[in-house]
Amino acid sequence: MEEGRAERRRRTEAPSHTQGGPRRAGVMTDVHRRFLQLLMTHGVLEEWDVRRLQKHCYRVHDRTAAVEELEDFINNINSVLESLYIEIKKGATEDDGRPVYALVNLATTSVSKMASDFAENELDLFRKALELIIDSETGFASSTNILNLVDQLKGKKMRKKEAEQVLQKFVQNKWLIEKEGEFTLHSRAILEMEQYIRETYPDAVKICNICHSLLIQGQSCETCGIRMHLPCVAKYFQSNSEPRCPHCNDYWPHEIPVFDPEKEREAATSRATKRSLRSRQH
């Protein structure tokens, strides 16, 4: 009863522009606010984590309410965020197509979100790594090649040893992924910087032929050169015994990845239980 009254009071305090104004924006409650804050804190979250977060926010602020369908929940928040030129964007990991969510700028502002966490020379190191990744054929840039550019950085002089640690900081903060000494973009960076990348590197940028989004890792046709994300390949050639390039019809020369939805769900729940075990071991 107490909560209901408090909830209603909070809703009536909404500023006038969201109630009767020309744009029919949704209504923000503490459930949505906490959700937004936590999503901002984590930077990027996988879908199973987002659902857990949503349920957590309901549990904290509005136990009695039914948990809204995630898509509607997010659309509701996005309608309020519209006037701030930001939105919760959904993407997918490039290696296995897991859905991910991040809060992104709709107006291009380059690497601004990183600017608060990194010094000028560190940001420049990221830009150099980004260029190498975009120019590469595989979507990966080797640690050696990145470190060789250390002398060209703007700002304070950085030694290679320090640069190695900065690259690890990028990995920890979910801007880069490392695999066997090579670096590629984390899905967070792809979501947040897609527009910036398209505008800054219009010639070098690669696009997926199926979903038309930015492509960093993927497969390419050896005849005509079009590219596809691995999950897009998996979906497009699903149960097709003779995969052919959608553009030039030549035989598709690569192994078609298979993503098993059942295995994904198992993997997701095992990640969830591992996390809650960790938290109890204080």
Partner 1 sequence: MLQKPESGALPSPQAEGEKDGSRDGETQTLTASQKEVPSPFLQESPNEDLGARREEGATASSLTPKGARTLAAKALARRRAYRRLDRTVAELVQFLLVKDKKKSPITRSEMVKYVIGDLKDLFPEIIARAAEHLRYVFGFELKQFGRKHHTYILVNKHKPLEEEEEEVEEEDLGGDGPRLGLLIMILGLIYMKGNSARETQVWEMLRRLGVRPSKYHFLFGYPKRLIMEDFVQQRYLNYRQVPHTNPPECEFSWGPRSNLEISKMKVLGFVAKLHKKEPQHWPVQYREALADEADRARAKARAEASMRARARARARATDRAGIYPW
| CB 55, CB 31: distance < 8 Å | no
Minimum Å gap between C-beta 175 and partner 1 is 11
Q: Which of residues 45-74 bind partner 1 (CB under 8 A)?
A: 52-53, 56, 60
Q: How far is CA 67 from the centre of its chain?
A: 24
The radius of gyration of the chain from alpha carbons, rounded to an integer in Å, stands at 22
Q: Is 86 in the site for partner 1 (CB under 8 A)?
A: yes
Q: Which is nearer to partner 1, 15 or 261 (CB)?
A: 15
Q: Is 93 in the site for partner 1 (CB under 8 A)?
A: no
Q: Is 276 in the site for partner 1 (CB under 8 A)?
A: yes
DSSP state of 176: E
Q: Is 127 in the site for partner 1 (CB under 8 A)?
A: no
Q: Which of residues 27-46 bind partner 1 (CB under 8 A)?
A: 28, 30, 33-34, 36-38, 40-43
With CB under 8 A as the contact rule, which of the stretches 14-22, 187-195, 213-221, 250-258 interacts with partner 1?
Answer: 14-22
Q: Is 21 in the site for partner 1 (CB under 8 A)?
A: yes
With CB under 8 A as the contact rule, which of the stretches 102-110, 125-133, 245-253, 254-262 interacts with partner 1?
Answer: 102-110
- Mapping DSSP onto H, E and C, the string for 189-242 reads HHHHHHHHHHHHCCCCCEEECCCCCEECCCEECCCCCCEECHHHHHHHCCCCCC
Residue 144 to residue 160: CA distance in whole angstroms: 10
Q: Is 254 in the site for partner 1 (CB under 8 A)?
A: no
Helix (H) / strand (E) containing 185: strand 182-185
* Residue recorded with tokens 């996988």: 46
Minimum Å gap between C-beta 194 and partner 1 is 17
Q: Which is nearer to partner 1, 105 or 219 (CB)?
A: 105
Nearest-CA neighbor of 196 among 133, 120, 104, 78? 104
| CB 21, CB 81: distance < 8 Å | no
Positions that interact with partner 1 (CB under 8 A): 9, 12-18, 20-21, 28, 30, 33-34, 36-38, 40-43, 52-53, 56, 60, 80-81, 83-86, 105, 107, 109, 112-113, 115-117, 172-173, 275-276, 279, 282
